[in-house]
A and B are shown apart, each in its own frame.
Chain A
Amino acid sequence: MDIERIKADFPILEERVNSHRLIYLDNAATTQKPRAVINALIDYYRKMNSNIHRGLHTLAERSTEAFEESRAHVARFIGDVPTEEVIFTKGTTEALNLIAYSWGEQNIKAGDEIVITEMEHHANFVPWVMLAKRKNAIIKKIPITVCGHLDLSDIDTIITSKTKLVAFPHVSNVLGTINPVQQIAAKAKSVGATVVVDGAQAAPHMTIRPAEYGIDFYSFSAHKMLGPTGVGVLWGRRSVLQAMPPFNFGGEMIREVSFDRVTFNELPWKFEAGTPNIADVIAFDAALTYLESLGMEEIRTHEIMLTKYAIDRLTSLKGIEIQGPQESATRGGAVSFTDPSIHPHDISTFLDSRGIAIRAGHHCAQPLMRTLGKVATARASFYIYNTEADIDALYDALVEMRKYFGV
């Protein structure tokens, strides 16, 4: 990949932050947007702004067509799944909540078991905990090993005939661990459980094929893969989606309403109540085109290279502790680390003063933080416009920071 050419496509990378060139290493939180996506947003408002599916004028036709083309593009992007299996939400979190309310309310009963993991982001943790509370169901956890992988050694006692749902992340947002989706799905399916995978940290970085994993639901967010904020995707297996009741009511999800009878639209519109985030869904199409122009395999290769380089450089600093797997081939590009004597918030503030954006905190994964025995970590996460020079700048700033704090 020609990184310098890619960088030129991202106007924000020309910004100066605290008098320094911006080095953006907070891509697990959200990615920057290429000019093509920004232009798609402008074009929508300049040329086709209109509500979709209900207008009978030219602008409505344009926006409806562009909106549905974006859905078709997502369907192609994730392995040529049927377009009716692609539901637009406002993000991964809403997609997971949709499953918890719609599927969960219908299918979970008292005494049922819901299996999650110890490395869960709150979005794939709290909806299930609240569902279990509503239904008197039981939450069970798959623990992690000291190396930050899921510990599947006791999987047969965790996933049992009582298990009705298994939910886990494809890639951990803190540890970077890539989980064996098919292996866990096969175990879950052997007891008849439904499987939910949070793909927010995987979809931007590698080829994903949810329909081939033996799972039922897969969710991800546009804004972590060059697209706009406020757009998420819920992929669901058609037979499962068809059996589920709507999540919200009103707008395009309605087919016919009378005072005594309401019927609902077909998939995927059954789950898209109200006016959706039209402009951003349409601009997501441009983001997918951009990613495809680079190639998801190439993106993954670039990320493995950067992750390896970052782990090597950071661990050469005495005392720096990196969470999660150390080998880059089995992890994503989110590298969480701690310095023994400097709090992650102070690390983040110092790096920001040098124009380097990282994340510091518990990363919305407080149960995992407790397991790791940390209150917070610093996290550098990479994407297509990052280079080894960015990691060198991070390293140099960390050395400077230690001098500054006198440790």
Chain B
Amino acid sequence: MTPSLDDMYREIILDHYRSPRGKKPLPHADITTHGQNPSCGDEISLDVEMDHGVVKDVHVNCHGCAISVASGSMLAETVKGRSFDEVRRIAEIVRKMLKGEEVQIPDDLGDIDALKGVRQFPVRIKCALLAWVTLIEGMKNYEDGKHEITNTTITTEDDHETK
């Protein structure tokens, strides 16, 4: 079957690409994490401010394609006010959805459902996952009590579980 370009570049995706959310820099970030996709050179930086175990705010700075920018923008919209466990649960939903696995998408996940079309383009799945994998790595570092900046390189293996 010919993959549908319109399914991937849905209007919601293009809107996030043109006007990415989470652009406001955070002066007091608790987590700073970088990610890159070596196959295309896309780069993302995430700053996260925490408040009593939940994400208070997030700043996303992505230099990449429409899919990686839109996915990062959706992440910024979605993770605020959530605990790490909830963020991991959402990241896992995103991964399963992109891999074409059966998954129930809760109503409170904003526009994330719009990323579904990316699964018709397997080479672009890594673009959609970049922000999520980067955030998970940054969270892991923070939980381990490490304060250095995390550098994540997304690989094909990152299609596996994000836990």
Which residues of A are interface residues toward B (Cβ below 8 A)?
Answer: 18-19, 342-346, 349-350, 353, 360-362, 366, 369, 374-376, 404-406
Contacts and interface: CB of A to CB of B under 8 A. Distances in A.
Contact of A345 (B3, B18, B124): B124
A16 to B, nearest CB: 10
Q: List 6 tightest A-B contacts by C-beta distance, closest first.
A: A375-B41, A343-B65, A345-B65, A376-B41, A362-B41, A353-B5
Contact of A343 (B3, B5, B8, B66): B66
18 contacts: A19-B2, A342-B66, A343-B64, A344-B65, A345-B40, A345-B65, A345-B127, A346-B65, A349-B5, A361-B40, A369-B41, A375-B40, A375-B41, A375-B42, A376-B41, A405-B9, A405-B14, A406-B18
Nearest to B11: A406
A19 B127 CA distance: 25
Given A18-B2, A19-B2, A406-B14, A346 B66 contact: yes
Secondary structure call for the B interface: mixed
A353 to B, nearest CB: 5
B155 interface: no
A342 B65 CA distance: 7
B121 A361 contact: no
Given A18-B2, A345-B124, A375 B14 contact: no
Nearest to A20: B2
Contacts of A404: 5, 9
Interface string B1-44: 01101001100001000100000000000000000000111110
Contacts of A346: 9, 65-67
Contacts of A406: 14, 18
* Residue among A344, A349, A369 facing the most chain B CB atoms (10 A cut-off): A349
A349 B41 contact: no
A350 B65 CA distance: 12
Contacts of B9: 346, 404-405
Interface residues of B, number: 20
A125 B39 CA distance: 18
Given A343-B65, A405-B66, A376 B40 contact: yes
Interface string B43-63: 100000000000000000001
Which of B8, B9, B18, B65 has most chain A Cβ within 10 Å?
A: B65
Contacts of B63: 375
A246 to B, nearest CB: 33
A404 B17 CA distance: 13
A284 B145 CA distance: 58
Given A18-B3, A343-B65, A345-B124, 10 more contacts: A19-B2, A342-B66, A345-B42, A346-B9, A349-B5, A349-B8, A353-B3, A361-B39, A376-B40, A406-B14
A89 B10 CA distance: 46
A58 B114 CA distance: 63
Contacts of B18: 406
Contacts of A353: 3, 5
A374 B39 CA distance: 14
Contacts of A18: 2-3
A342 B18 CA distance: 10
A405 B18 CA distance: 9
Contacts of B3: 18, 353
A356 to B, nearest CB: 13
Contacts of A342: 66
